[in-house]
Amino acid sequence: MESKRIADLNVSSRILLGPGPSMVSPRVLRAMATPVLGHLDPQFLTIMEEQQQLLRMVFQTQNELTLSIPGTGSAGMEAALCNFIEPGDQVLVAIMGFFGERLAEMAQRYGALVDRVEKPWGEVFDPVEIEEALKAKTYKLIALVHAETSTGALQPGIAEIAAAAHRHGALLVLDTVTSLGGMPVEIDAWQVDVAYSAAQKSLSCPPGLAPLTVSPRAREVLHKRKTPLTNWYLDLNGLEKYWQPPHAYHHTAPISLHYALREGLRMVEEEGLAARFERHRFNANLLWEGLDALDLPPLVQPRHRLTTLTTPQIPVSIDDLAVRQRLLEEYNIEIAGGFGPLKGKVWRIGLMGFSSRRENIALLLAALDQILR
Amino acid sequence: MESKRIADLNVSSRILLGPGPSMVSPRVLRAMATPVLGHLDPQFLTIMEEQQQLLRMVFQTQNELTLSIPGTGSAGMEAALCNFIEPGDQVLVAIMGFFGERLAEMAQRYGALVDRVEKPWGEVFDPVEIEEALKAKTYKLIALVHAETSTGALQPGIAEIAAAAHRHGALLVLDTVTSLGGMPVEIDAWQVDVAYSAAQKSLSCPPGLAPLTVSPRAREVLHKRKTPLTNWYLDLNGLEKYWQPPHAYHHTAPISLHYALREGLRMVEEEGLAARFERHRFNANLLWEGLDALDLPPLVQPRHRLTTLTTPQIPVSIDDLAVRQRLLEEYNIEIAGGFGPLKGKVWRIGLMGFSSRRENIALLLAALDQILR
């Protein structure tokens, strides 16, 4: 106890251009310094209600059961699956990258009988292929990723996939971790049943909360469960009683992160969804042009690219790790490497939320040019 | 999108004297406004390592596997149980309040065959009674609460209970949510196998992280699991690979909350554990004297009282809710009511961490005197 070895917090100001966390606006950081309220304080209950309202705006939904899971994006993924899966349920997972794999793994842990349809990493499904797979048997649900953070690919045709799922009696669970707040996510128009995201991607808030929305159809499935859910912390039956009246105690909400998410969502509302999506598109185009000029062409075909996350291919002559280390140490820029089959083959460059600014792109391209030349 | 209905964040400065969250020091609040690092940034990995070192200090342990679960206290409770329980395991839960009940419920969800020993709320076990119960069969683990947040009672004799558990081949899982950082918690000296807490109680940090420590004996049990764990997010096998080398990606850590917890733990180290426990004891005594003078005697016998949380009995002539409402609205003071059998019968007054200050006690007693007279 004598030795005071741990010094004052003193971190570098990183330019976060990886797959998340993205940079957090000073407005949002400041909100976190607000004194803490109790988790059942009437003022805090109002903040939760306002947050729900803002989440409905960004998810483009009227779903009553729209809230934030008190954990990071993976907790949102787990909540979106485990609440709707009972042991022995048939589940279909469409996999085109790392997070599709994670969906399959989690579903299996909860006793689902999982069938997989797969695409090589970097490609996407034709909705018709998914409808074909749905014909194999009666699935309780199909889960897939909208914006694959491991590859930079955007799955198109979500409305068609949802319609196919419903024709075959399945719910659609959609991962919008890397799209929500940066690209259109239209839960009601597309008829998605369960969608989740993460605060630290295109919403540009600190990590620790996972927005989640549940359609009336899925909510009915939830309330008709026959077996109790193993998971206590992520049990939506407990969570909904806290978020909605009677506001019964479930867990102690991470108050400061809720302050931050509320502020970040207000910034989304102020900018407007359409303008925000256009900003992400415009900036992604600048990045793509710059990468092409550096002979670092993105892996994904232009029409299936995320505007929030780009995956340039690394020429074999270039040392992945060494470049990323120089970017971090010499320029304070964080980008990420690839996972699994893409390890060493692509970088992952995020332009999400507050990170999606012209100055960041100009700097990154200049730094890459200097390092690679 | 047109109507900008959600106003600037503007909350009252509450004096938090409930069972948590406790008040957060401006130093800790300020730490949260620090720009976000990536969750795999070498600087962040250092912050995690420093946090582990500080957590070992406050848990009084050398346990290598000491970390923070990325969720609130209940997530810590769930992690402490689910990682060590396989379906069909025999589990003993000693229950003397709401959180003992929650332990039993969670253990059951993971397929444990749960036996219960119980005490009326407000009382504690004689360690001999627990040893008796341990003789009934061979238990995989026994779980109990050290400091019962629902009653204000402190379970004595944890070292004797741990010794008894080990004589009978069981692990001891201990809830230190309301004791850690405010009262002695001696993991190694007492030979506790798994203990968890919450950031927002006597550590006085914002909610959202749950410190957890695992003895080498329990870690061996963890690594010898035969069945895969259902819970993905709280799986210690994934978490330990992130916290220790190779620092493999598991989830995106709630960076800002880690900044806060590190700062709060530094304040614990600066004050010194012994001085901090003495402050809590001294202030609790002041509160108890004041409550006696107001004819609001605490429920728990003096020798079993928590110094971090006191439960004065409410005379039948007094309207529980009306008093709490006036405290909140007129004085900005939050205290809490009772749960279950103690609903309407006690208040719960927390003096934890930064909330345990003489001025708060003087104000609360003055406010109660004015309201009750």
Strands A347-350 and A309-310: antiparallel
Chain B contact for A262 (CB, 8 A cutoff):
yes
Chain A contact for B71 (CB, 8 A cutoff):
yes
Residue whose pair of structure tokens reads 């938090």 in the numeric block: B16
How do residues B282-329 score in pLDDT, each as one tens digit?
Answer: 999 999 999 999 999 999 999 999 999 999 999 999 999 999 999 999
Q: Are B353 and B22 in contact (CB under 8 A)?
A: yes
Listed residue (B160, B115, B159) closest to B138, CA to CA? B115
Our CA-based measurement puts residue A11 at a distance from the nearest CA of chain B, in whole angstroms, of: 7
Partner residues linked to A159 by β-bridges:
none
Q: Is A167 exposed, middle or buried (CB count within 10 Å of its CB: 0-12, 13-18, 19+)?
A: exposed
Chosen for mutation from B17, B231, B249 (greatest number of chain A CBs closer than 10 Å) is B231
pLDDT at A1 over 50: no
ipTM of the complex: 0.97
Chosen for mutation from B2, B4, B6, B271 (greatest number of chain A CBs closer than 10 Å) is B6
Q: Give the one of A75, A102, A272 whose C-beta lies nearest to B1's C-beta.
A: A272
Distance CA A37, CA A146 (A): 36
Q: Are A192 and A216 in contact (CB under 8 A)?
A: no
Query: What pLDDT score does A178 carry?
Result: 98
- In this prediction the pTM is 0.97
Instruction: Report how far apart, in Å, the C-alpha atoms of A24 and of each of A205, B33, B217, B346 are.
Output: 6, 10, 41, 43
Instruction: Report how far apart, in Å, the C-alpha atoms of A356 and of each of A125, A203, A308 are.
Output: 27, 11, 8
- Summary count for chain B: helices (H), strands (E): 13, 14
Mean pLDDT, chain A, as a whole number? 97
Our CA-based measurement puts residue A13 at a distance from the nearest CA of chain B, in whole angstroms, of: 6
Query: What pLDDT score does B294 carry?
Result: 98
Contacts with A198 from chain B: Cβ below 8 Å: 252
Cis bond before residue B312 (omega within 30° of 0): no
Distance CA B105, CA B281 (A): 32
Our CA-based measurement puts residue B128 at a distance from the nearest CA of chain A, in whole angstroms, of: 31
Contact A206 B37 (CB under 8 A): no
Q: Which domains does chain A have, with CATH numbers?
A: 15-21+273-372 (3.90.1150.10), 26-268 (3.40.640.10)
pLDDT at B1 over 50: no
Q: What are phi and psi of A334, to 5 degrees?
A: -100, 125
Confidence of residue A5 (pLDDT cuts 50, 70, 90): confident
Contact B251 A72 (CB under 8 A): yes
Nearest CA in chain A to B256: A206
Query: What pLDDT score does B5 carry?
Result: 79
Chain B contact for A264 (CB, 8 A cutoff):
no
Confidence of residue B2 (pLDDT cuts 50, 70, 90): very low
Confidence of residue A2 (pLDDT cuts 50, 70, 90): very low
Percentage with pLDDT > 90 across chain B:
98
Contact A29 B30 (CB under 8 A): no
How do residues A275-300 score in pLDDT, each as one tens digit?
Answer: 999 999 999 999 999 999 999 999 99
How do residues A169-185 score in pLDDT, each as one tens digit?
Answer: 999 999 999 999 999 99
| B265: enclosing H helix or E strand | helix B255-271
Instruction: Report how far apart, in Å, the C-alpha atoms of A11 and of each of A8, A321, B70, B72 are.
Output: 10, 22, 21, 25
Chain A contact for B34 (CB, 8 A cutoff):
yes
How do residues B68-81 score in pLDDT, each as one tens digit?
Answer: 999 999 999 999 99
Span A55-77, mean pLDDT?
Answer: 98
How do residues A201-248 score in pLDDT, each as one tens digit?
Answer: 999 999 999 999 999 999 999 999 999 999 999 999 999 999 999 999
Contact B232 A105 (CB under 8 A): yes
How do residues B313-371 score in pLDDT, each as one tens digit?
Answer: 999 999 999 999 999 999 999 999 999 999 999 999 999 999 999 999 999 999 999 99
Task: State the DSSP code for A312.
Answer: B
Radius of gyration for the alpha carbons in chain A, expressed in angstroms and rounded:
21
How do residues B208-257 score in pLDDT, each as one tens digit?
Answer: 999 999 999 999 999 999 999 999 999 999 999 999 999 999 999 999 99
Span A134-153, mean pLDDT?
Answer: 97
Nearest CA in chain B to A43: B11
Query: What pLDDT score does B4 carry?
Result: 56
Chain B contact for A103 (CB, 8 A cutoff):
no
Our CA-based measurement puts residue A193 at a distance from the nearest CA of chain B, in whole angstroms, of: 22
Contacts of B363 (CB under 8 A, 6+ apart): B15, B331, B333
Token duo for residue B344? 């309407």
Our CA-based measurement puts residue A109 at a distance from the nearest CA of chain B, in whole angstroms, of: 5
Helix locations, chain A, DSSP H: 26-32, 42-59, 73-82, 98-109, 127-134, 158-167, 187-190, 216-223, 236-243, 255-271, 273-293, 320-331, 358-372
Distance CA A338, CA A309 (A): 12
Angle at A128 between CA A126 and CA A134, to 5 degrees: 120
Distance CA A80, CA A171 (A): 11
pLDDT at B196 over 80: yes
Chain A contact for B200 (CB, 8 A cutoff):
yes
Contacts with B32 from chain A: Cβ below 8 Å: 29, 32-33, 256
Beta strands in B248-361 (DSSP E): 309-310, 333-334, 336-337, 347-350
Task: State the DSSP code for A150.
Answer: T
